[in-house]
Every structure is written in C-alpha cells, then in structure tokens.
Amino acid sequence: MCDTERVQREAQEGLSWVMEQGAAYADVRVHLDDTAESLVMYDGNLEQNETLSQQGLGVRVLWGGAWGFCGTSDLRRVHDCFARSLGNARTAAALVAIPLEMGEMPGHRSTYQSPVQVDPFSLPLNERIDLLRGLDARLREDWIQRRIVMATTQKKTVQFWNSEGTCIEKRLTNVFGTVMIMAPDKDGQMQRRSHNLYTRGSGTRGWEMITDRELFGNHVDRVKQELADLLPADVLAHGRRSVILLPGQAWLQVHETIGHPLELDRILGYELSYAGGSLVTPGDIGTLRYGSERLNVSSFGNIENSPGSFGFDDDGTPERDYLLIDRGILVNVLSSRAMVNEVNHVAGRTVVKESGGAARATTFYRTPLERMTNVNILPGTDGTVEDIVAATVDGIIVDTPTSWSIGSNREHFHFGCEIAWEVKDGRRTRVLRNPTYQGHTIEFYNALDAVGDASSWRVEQVENCGKGEPNQIMQLGHGVPVVRFDNVLSGEKG
Amino acid sequence: MLDAQTREILRDATDRARRRGIQASLLLHRERSHLLRLGNSSVSLNTTETLTRLKARVVDGCREATHTSLRELTSAQDALDTLEITVAKVREAPAREFEPILERVEEGVAQTGQYDPALAELDGTSKTEGYARIMRDIGPTPTYSGAWSSGATETYLISTATDDEAYHRCTDSQFSLVLKHPTQEWELRTDQSGWRVVDFSAERAVADIMRVLPVYQQREGIKVEPGTYTVLFGPQAMAEILGMALWTGFHGRMYEEKQGWTSHNAMGDTVFGANITVTDDPGDPDTFRYAFDLGGTKRRRYPLVERGCIAGLMYDIETAAKYKRPLTGHTTQTTSVVMDGGHGPDDALAAVVDRERVLWIPALHYMHVPSMAKGLFTGSSRFSAVVVERGKIVAPLFSSRVTESFQNLFNNLAVLAAERVSVNLSDTYGRRAPVAWSIPRYAVAEGVHITDSADSF
C-alpha cells in the first residue's frame, strides 16, 4: 500500500525539480482516499452494487507556454510522473501560437470540507440498501411496469500542491438519488416519471440529504400520480405558446445554453474538436444582451451544499461568487487562470479581470479545464409557480428532461420532457405527453418574461456532465426558480 | 500474454476464491494512453496516463456485488484485498428474484493481432509534427484544433467458473482535425482511425479538408427552411444514427421492457428497407476486434438486421440473467458493427448527380432521442456540411436540425456506397474503450425532415 509521507515528500521534490528545469508553473494532485458507490434497485432487485476506490496522482507542468500532463495510478513512480509531464510540456511547446500564462497568485495553505452530518460510507451497506428497498416498496403498483431507485455516493480527499507554495486539502462528499417509474400509455408507448434528489442550497450534504423526505422520499406519491395522469393524456400539439420550465427542467436549459457556452475554453476555441464552441465571442463580454432584463445568472452563488461547491478549484483558486449575466447583459464567463490573459488579448480590452475559479478535473488522471460550478438563475419577482401560471394565457408547464440536443455553438436547442401541463387562461387544464420544445438561445432568453421568486428556487444536482479530451465527467449544481418564456415552438409535427 | 507476475497474482487469487467456494471473476484493465490536443493552432495539452484497474465480481446465489480498485497491482495481497471487499459486500446484498450469471471464460484466448508496438510508443513529438505538416500544407488562415488520442490497452478476464483465461491486447488511434475561420466562423473537420501508426496519413487529412475548403472560402453559407430534403449523410453521421437506432431498438433490455421502438415487433419483422443489413462482426478488419466480451462469452458474427428484418437482439449478462435469454457476447462497449454497403459509386457526388438539390451532412452534433418508443431522433449538422446541386458542391450549409424517425430514415436510403470505411466511436470516459464500426462511405436518404436551421455554422 501507499506510503503517504513518501508520496507527499516526492511530490514536493518533483515540484522543485521541474521548476529548476525551467518550468513556469507546476502543480500536483494526489488522491489517496477516493471512493464512489453506485446502488441501483431495478424492479426490486439490486442490479447494481458497485464500488470504485482509486489512488494516484496527476502532475501538470507549464513550460514554454504549453501544458504537459501525466497521470498515473502507480504511486511508486512519483518522480517518473514529473519527468514525463515536463517532457510532454517541452514537446507541446514546439507548436505554440499564443503562450499560456497562469498569472500570479500568492501561495496559500487552505483546507475545505463539504458540510456533512452523516458520512455515507460510515453506514453499513445494508442501511443504504434499506433506504432503496423502502422507496421501491412505495413505488410498487400493479400498473407500474418498471421501478428504478438509484443512489450514488462519492467521497474523496484531494491534496493539491503547486509551485507557488499553495497547499490545499479538500474533502468532498456528494450524494445523488433518483426514483423513476414507467408504464405504457394508451398507445402502448412507455412513459416515465422521475424525481432527482435536490437541495435548498443551504445545509449539509451527507447521507442525511437523501433521507430528508422533503428533498426525496415525499416525492414518490407525486411521481406516481403524475405518471398515472400521463398514460391517458393526449400528445402535445405542434405550435407556438408560452413555455413554463419548472426547476426540474430549467436546470438543464441553464446547463446547456448558459453554462456551457460561457465556459471560456469553449469561447476561445479549445473545445472545437469535441464538445464544441460557443455563440459568445470574447468581445461580447460586457456588451451582449443575452436575455431579457429579468435574467440574472450567477456562478457559485455561495451555495454551501451542492456538488458545484468545492472550496478551491484545481488551479488553487478559491471559489468566487460573481454574476455571469446582469439584468440580461453578459458580464463575465467561467474561467481558469490560464485563459485570462488570452481572452483579454483576443478581445483587445480587459473583459475578464481574474480567474473565476472554474478549473476542475474529474480525478487525478485528468487535467483541469473550465467547468461549471453552480450556475444559477437568481430568483425574480414574479411570484410563485401558481402566480406565474395564473398570469399565463396560453402555454404549457414542462418538467424533467428525456432528451437534449444542442447546436455545437449552443446557438440552438431541442429538449424533450417527461410531462407537460396545458395552461389556458391562467389555469392548468390537463396533462399532455411527449412534450418537446426548441429555440435559438439568444432569442429564447430575450423572451424570458417571468422569473419565480425564492419559493420556487432550488438547487438541482448534476451527476454526470461530460466534456473534454480525454473525456471527463463532472458533478455540479444549478440553482433555478420557475421561469416562463414567450412564443416558444413546442411539440412535434405529425 | 499478460506479464507473468500479474497473471500469477490473478490466477492465485482466483484459485483461492475457488477453494473457498466463492464464485468470483477478476477483470484487469491496463492502459497507457496518450493524447495531444490542438487548440487555436497551438498544442493545448500533451498528456499521458498510465492506469491499472482491477474489477472483482462475486455472485452468491441470487446476490451479487462488484468492486473496482484503480491503483497499481503490486502484490497478491492487492488482488486479494479487492476480492475480499467484494465478498464482504455480497454478504450484505439482498437476494434478487433471479440468479445473476457469473462471468465464464467460454474458451481460452490470447488475442494480440491488433497491436502495433510503434503506435504503443507514439508520443507527442510525432503527433506535433503531423499537425504542423498539415497546417503548413493548408495554410495559416484558419485556426486549427483537434485531438490525437492513441494508446495501448490490455484486458484480462478470469473467473472461478472455468480454468480458461481471456486476454486481449491492442493499440488504437483516433485523430481529428478541425479548421475554423476566424471571421467567417465556418468549421471543417476530418477524422482518421486505426490501430497501426501507418493508418495515419497527413496527406489524406489535407485532401479531405481540401475537398470542401474552396467552397467554404468562396461562398456564403445557406440557411435552409424547415421541410423535407434529400440528405447525403457521411459515415460519421450514419454511424451515430445507427448507434442510436441499435441502442433503442436492438438491446435486449429495451426490447424486453418495451421501452424501445421495436418493442411491438417480433424477430423477423421488417423494420428497415431491404437494402439494410447490419451485423456485429468481431472479425471485420475495419473495427477494433474483440474475441470475447466482459462476461467471457466468445464473440461471434451476430446478425442484427438482415435485409431490413430484425435478426437478433444484443443481451448483456444482466439482461440475459433477468429474462433468461442466451448470452450473445454483448456484455461490452466494444462492438464491431458492420453496415453493409450497397451499389453506389465511390464518389459521393456522382451518386447524387441526377438530383436537383441535396444537403450533404457528414456528421451530426449532439444527437438524442426525444421518443425511444417512436424511434424519433434529433441532431444538428456540424462540420463540412454543404449544399450539392446536380452533383456539384455549391455552398456551405448553416447548422440545420434533423428530426426524424429511425424507421423513416432506414426505409428511405436510396443509395448506399459500395465502399465501407472505419468510423471511430471510442471514448475515454473512465477507462480507454476503443470502438470502431464499418459503415458505408455515404448514404443518400430521401424525405429527411429538417426541423430548424440557424443563420450560422
């Protein structure tokens, strides 16, 4: 097994060595205690009972304006890892058009720990399984054909050191949960309804989240009733109407059409070969009317109990709470240290003053890149969900994604949802199935005409956002209220 | 074969489990991956990862558990620790209503035919030179992006069910290049796939880009209105669509649980046009070939669609256990899907010379399935899309959304290229998983619904 003190000592030696070789910057992340568990109860059977434990280190070296990286699960080879990373950076430096710079940041010693009451891994496995079994029993009905209850828990300790003298230890815990049921509709096509564990933004984020009935268990009866309502429902007709997104759908709208296009690496063109670019240009920062006056979007949001809250990013930058969109105007983006100089150079003015603390790596063997933290629509002044419904003449309310397809620069989108409710003259009139809606991002957000107040706002957790080459999965959050958009194309023809 | 020390560790752990009456499997996955990423005409990342994963699975009657250790395997104790954690988990697991199937190596195999030592050692220097050469040949005006991933992977499976071992060693390479114009903002792309160093050709990358570069440089983009069009799909687009169609229609779980679009069909039913034949063929040289799946089942040539009719469904080990179906060799991400070609000429443009207007969409971005039950998919054009009139490229095509059903699309493929090409579908989420399919070089689809379009690329 690993000798913790030796790894730490060799990591420090490695940092000193690469700097002596002429590196401009270097950092190392060591994961010694990194565990995840996935439990899936499917039709009452524990079909997934998986754990993953991992150990290793990742070394990043900036040399000649270019990054080299090396990750390994072999903790005996710390020095080799530094040598390989430096070699990779030197090779990369042979083809550099705009040298990357990290800027300056004073070294600091810091720690961060997710607020947790009950460490999920401190409980016996059968206690975690019992929770799933209890929920599954409550989902069971003769007319329900599929029942799925899932719980994913993650716990990791990350030690970070860089060449500036920064030393950070992070202890992060995440808990995710889902209940889902399926049954055939009147046309014999399978419909589903689900609920994902969410947070109110404050409090703790251990196992106590998933046992909080308000956040999870109490939604079982609602989900069952809504699926029952879906089965005899008509299909949403094609046409233009107001679309009201509940938080269970609004989070993905924000994720795909605000969060991703505001990642600075996408804006600068570093993700073109995989995730895509952005409709935003560096010159747009500070000037682009992204949405209506009602649209206020923040990063981080001082949310204490979300997967998007992590204390310090993998550049060593503290999390920062700042506005991305202020009364409809794009004012900032999601950034890491190495992109700040470049975006200001391309824009020809200072459009980003400092790193937004968004450099995140999924684990030790992947390199940090621009990632969402918590990207949030701030609560508005248009009242509760029912207030907004009451003020809607012709529209639909939609909830929970089934499909999402977005243009490569996030300029347009098409979403499918689990359920819709028709709204006519201020009243919910009936349930509709197979709802979809589509639009063009800037036009859509400029048609935002109602934003719910704090009563409708909640933090939706995202377990599996994919991005980057090599591919990475990241966990994050979105604080969102109910929102209404005017004149949206929805439903499919035919 | 796997190095002797590691093999001995794993064989010993399996023997010990067997002696204790434990039903267990051990799956080792070792990778040495390298990726060079290009962004804004610079190398933006040059990375190496060396990773070892050991996954243990234990079955005890109707109970099951798995545990994966991602750390270096240095001693017999490491393997035993992984096994013991799994044994402890299975004791706490509730019994299922059905008995899980333990991995069983059906036939001893050591497959190393697609391993190139030169590719295993390929590093950033060669890749940087490759990109630099392409950039010199095409010129400095566009900005260049891309990624070139290559690696060597070892997979070793052993279980208490038999004495046999299954071993696979391979190399794989996935190359992409994207050009973006700084002011006109168009994006062009070319890809290459292979398992040998010699499978990469800078000349071929340049030639592929030059096929459409002039029209992008000289002509304004066209926005098409929603409606039905004849679409010339490239192999990447076809592979993506076919992949979604198979996932939602030909996976045993989707079928048995009536979630997918074939749920109301029976084996032998006609779902596609008579010109569509699709097979999972682990012997096809265009694909990354795996002789066994992760359940230990020998992978054989397996028909999925024969002349438009459902010929087979893919069952993983969990679904086969639950629905008591035979194992089909599909407990794997690494399929070798082959879509038969037709009679179309080699030149895609020659195939549409008699058509007034055709949209040529080489690739689709971010496809998804709004209705699995109806087989409805949607995705938007990206990279190198053009409008073709009477067999001539006339203008670049702005980003256009295709929303269509699998049934309509595969019943209306008027022309399929005779020649097939290898399309790389690998990903590196978690472990390295090389996947390549063999797909007709192009397919001409009639009556495709374009449901939205942008006024940009």
- Residue in A closest to B132 by C-alpha: A95
Q: How far apart are CA B207 and CA B51, in angstroms?
A: 36
Cβ of residue B189 closer than 8 Å to a chain A Cβ:
yes
- Cα–Cα nearest to A22, from A66, A73, A63: A63
Give the distance, in angstroms, between the CA of residue A34 and the centroid of all CA atoms in the same chain.
Answer: 20
Q: Are strands A239-245 and A394-406 parallel, antiparallel or unpaired?
A: parallel
Residues from chain B that touch A75, judged by Cβ atoms under 8 A, are: 71-72
Sketch the domain layout of chain B as residue ranges. Answer: 4-211, 227-453
pLDDT beyond 90 at A2: no
* Token duo for residue B418: 């005779």
B chain contacts of residue A92, beta-carbon cutoff 8 Å: 36, 43-46, 124, 128
Q: A121 pairs with which residues across the strands?
A: none
Per residue in B179-221, pLDDT (tens digit) is 999 888 899 999 999 999 999 999 999 999 999 999 999 999 9
DSSP code at position B94: P
Distance CA A463, CA A150 (A): 12
Taking the C-alpha atoms of residue A240 and residue A394, their distance in angstroms, rounded to an integer, is 9
pLDDT for residue A187 is more than 80: yes
Q: Exposure of B46 by Cβ count < 10 A (0-12 exposed, 13-18 middle, 19+ buried)? A: buried
Give the pLDDT confidence of B131-149 residue by residue, as tens digits. Answer: 999 999 999 888 999 999 9
Q: How many CB atoms lie within 10 A of CB A444?
A: 22
Q: Which of A68, A133, A272 comes nearest B145 by C-beta?
A: A272
Percent of chain A clearing pLDDT 70 (strictly above): 100
Check pLDDT > 50 for residue A426: yes
DSSP state of A456: G
Contact list, A190 vs chain B (CB under 8 Å):
257-259, 263, 372-373
In this structure, of A1-15, A219-233, A244-258, B232-246, the range with the lowest mean pLDDT score is: A1-15
B399/A74 Cβ within 8 A: no
CA dist list (Å): A406 to A258, A402, A477, B231, B402 = 12, 14, 20, 20, 12
- pLDDT for residue B444 is more than 70: yes
Domain A4-232, architecture per CATH:
2-Layer Sandwich (3.30)
Residue A279 φ then ψ, to 5°: -70, -15
Q: What is the mean pLDDT of residues B345-359?
A: 97
Backbone conformation region of residue A410, classed left if phi is above 0, alpha if psi is from -120 to 50, else beta: left
pLDDT given at position B141: 82
* CATH architecture for residues B4-211: 2-Layer Sandwich (3.30)
Determine the average pLDDT of the residues in B45-54: 97
* CB pair distance less than 8 Å for B365 and A407: yes
Assembly ipTM: 0.96
Contact B58/B87 with Cβ under 8 angstroms? yes
Name the helix (H) or strand (E) containing B358: strand B358-361
- The 3-class SS string of B262-328 reads CCCCCCCCECCCCCCCEEECCCCCCCCCCCECCCCCECCCEEEEECCEECCCECCHHHHHHHCCCCC
Which of A49, A52, A188 is facing B264, going by the closest CB pair? A188
| B43:A469 CB<8 A | no
Domain spans of chain A, in order of start? 4-232, 235-490
E strands, A378-471, are 394-406, 412-424, 427-433, 436-440, 448-451, 458-467
Which of A73, A367, A436 is closest, CB to CB, to B52?
A73
Distance from CA of A456 to the nearest CA of B (A): 27
Which chain A residues have a beta carbon less than 8 Å from that of B240?
none
Count of beta carbons in the 10 Å neighbourhood of residue A425: 9
Name the residue facing B44 among A84, A270, A408 (closest C-beta): A270
Report how far apart, in Å, the C-alpha atoms of B161 and of each of A274, B26, B89, B100, B327 are. 42, 11, 20, 13, 15
Task: DSSP letter for B441, please.
Answer: S
User: 3-state class of B418 per DSSP?
Assistant: coil
What is the average pLDDT score of chain B? 96
**Counting one residue from A and one from B, how many pairs have CB atoms under 8 Å apart?**
279
Predicted pLDDT of residue A301:
86
**Residue among B139, B214, B144, B221 at smallest CA distance from B176:** B144
Contacts of B257 (CB under 8 A, 6+ apart): A145, A146, A182, A190, B263
Write out the DSSP string of A98-150.
S----------EEEEE---SS-GGGS-HHHHHHHHHHHHHHH--TT--EEEEE
Q: Looking at the predicted structure, is the pLDDT value of residue B1 above 90?
A: no
pLDDT in tens, A204-252: 999 999 999 999 999 999 999 999 999 999 999 999 999 999 999 999 9
| pLDDT of the residue at A1 | 47
